[in-house]
Amino acid sequence: MSRMGKALFGLWSVMTFSLLGYGLFVALGDSPPDAEQGNMIRAFYYHFPNWIGAGIFLPLNLLASVAYLALRKKNVLAATKADALALATAEMGVLYCVLGMITGSLWGRVEWGIWWAWDARLTTTLMLALIYIAYLMVRRISSGSSRATICAVLAIFGFVDMPIVYMSTTWWRTQHPAPVFGGGDGSGIAPSMMRATLWNVTAWVAWGVLVAGIRYRGELQAQLREQEDALRVLEEASIEEASNV
């Protein structure tokens, strides 16, 4: 990593941890309890950022997968970078998705009296998580040059569920509330909750960028190393073949 890269990484890390610390303070200490939910409303500040995170990183996975398919025969290095980015964003997206479901379930048990409801929003969300978990499993158990291509195609098909998840509360009657943004009448965030929500969304997205960036660098280096090793083996084999002739 260059000196500039190291400085940026350090600055981003400090900024992220400061944001997370301040977000935690605002969520637990500096925002009022709700008239209906009491202090349980504070669960929202650690539930909602997960879905913003999934809403950022899973589309990024789609873009990286499309980029990989477009570049794989034209520019091997750029395609490798796109594939490494696809892995990093998929892992981050799955993490946010799973945390969103866990935090939602813990909140639902208190407010709805149930851990889970097989309604359209929750079921399509579970399917989304399972699709991307399957994507990560395919990446782990397969190897060779076809791995990235298979995964990129799987990511494109998997992403189809994402708009269905978002629209599920509009298309079907669900237990889950309407989307916070663009959910029609009555959607949106109460002014008293806005500050805590925005700080925590910013903080957890910054965290996601930081961790996905680290994961991307690690995966890229590992893949470049794999390619170098494969080239070396090919070179050695061709030299051996030439000496035999």
Q: Given the rule CB under 8 A, which residues bind another protein?
A: 24, 28-29, 33, 38-40, 42-43, 46-47, 50, 91, 95, 98-99, 102-103, 106-107, 109-110, 204, 207, 210-212, 214-215, 217-219, 221-222, 224-225
* Calpha distance 148→141 (Å, rounded): 12
Q: Which lies closer to another protein via its Cβ, residue 75 or residue 221?
A: 221
Tell me the closest approach of the beta carbon of residue 31 to another protein, in angstroms: 10
Q: Which of 145, 20, 137, 141 is nearest to 90 (CA)?
A: 137
* Calpha distance 180→173 (Å, rounded): 16
Q: Which lies closer to another protein via its Cβ, residue 86 or residue 120?
A: 86
CA-based torsion, 96, 101, 105, 111: positive or negative: positive
Amino acid identity at 61: N
Tell me the closest approach of the beta carbon of residue 184 to another protein, in angstroms: 27
Q: Which lies closer to another protein via its Cβ, residue 11 or residue 110?
A: 110
Q: Which of 203, 215, 216, 217 is nearest to 12 (CA)?
A: 203
Report the alpha-carbon angle 141-1-225, nearest 5. Answer: 35
Q: Which lies closer to another protein via its Cβ, residue 182 or residue 218?
A: 218
Tell me the closest approach of the beta carbon of residue 154 to another protein, in angstroms: 22
Tell me the closest approach of the beta carbon of residue 62 to another protein, in angstroms: 21
Q: Which lies closer to another protein via its Cβ, residue 43 or residue 120?
A: 43
Q: Which lies closer to another protein via its Cβ, residue 46 or residue 132?
A: 46
Q: What is the DSSP string of 24-87?
A: HHHHHHSSPPBTTTBGGGGGHHHHHHHHHHHHHHHHHHHHHHHHHHHHTTT-HHHHHHHHHHHH
The contacts of residue 115 (CB under 8 Å, 6+ apart) are 105, 108, 109
Tell me the closest approach of the beta carbon of residue 34 to another protein, in angstroms: 8
The contacts of residue 173 (CB under 8 Å, 6+ apart) are 119, 120
Tell me the closest approach of the beta carbon of residue 171 to another protein, in angstroms: 28
Q: Which lies closer to another protein via its Cβ, residue 51 or residue 120?
A: 51
Q: Which of 100, 81, 91 is nearest to 58 (CA)?
A: 91
Tell me the closest approach of the beta carbon of residue 204 to another protein, in angstroms: 8
